[in-house]
Amino acid sequence: MKLKENSQGSEMLTHNQAAMLAKLTTELHVMNRHRFIRMHNSLWRLLTFNFMRGLAFGLGSVMGATVLLSILGYWLAQFEWLPLVGDWLGELRREIDPSRPDE
């Protein structure tokens, strides 16, 4: 593709280049309307989004750890018959729930 020159010597765009430039301009407008770009254009929106994301991550981590530790605790409670682990788990159970009678 060669550029055409007008009578004053400056370069002009060919028809193909003008079409490509118009398409690029359109795509740039579409991208600027995207939520990700709009959010990063404002410091307060970005801070709010990251704060909410951190809260959700923290809450999810705590809830997930609670479920996993509950399942692990229940599973380990089944091993009370093991010599060393069973004694330790029985003592731990009595510490956690002193109102529960010993079996």
pLDDT in tens, 1-48: 455 555 554 567 788 888 899 999 999 888 888 887 777 788 888 899
- Cα separation, 26 vs 98, in Å, equals 70
- Alpha helices by DSSP H, the chain: 15-32, 35-41, 43-77, 83-96
Residue 86 region, left (φ>0) first, then alpha (ψ -120 to 50), else beta? alpha
- pLDDT-derived band at 99, boundaries 50, 70, 90: confident
Residue that wins the pLDDT comparison between 59 and 4:
59
- Cα separation, 103 vs 82, in Å, equals 15
- Cα separation, 79 vs 96, in Å, equals 17
The three-state secondary structure class of 14 is coil
What pLDDT, on the 0 to 100 scale, is given for residue 9? 46
| Assessment of whether the complete model's pTM goes beyond 0.85 | no
- pLDDT-derived band at 53, boundaries 50, 70, 90: very high
DSSP summary character for residue 102: P
- pLDDT-derived band at 91, boundaries 50, 70, 90: confident
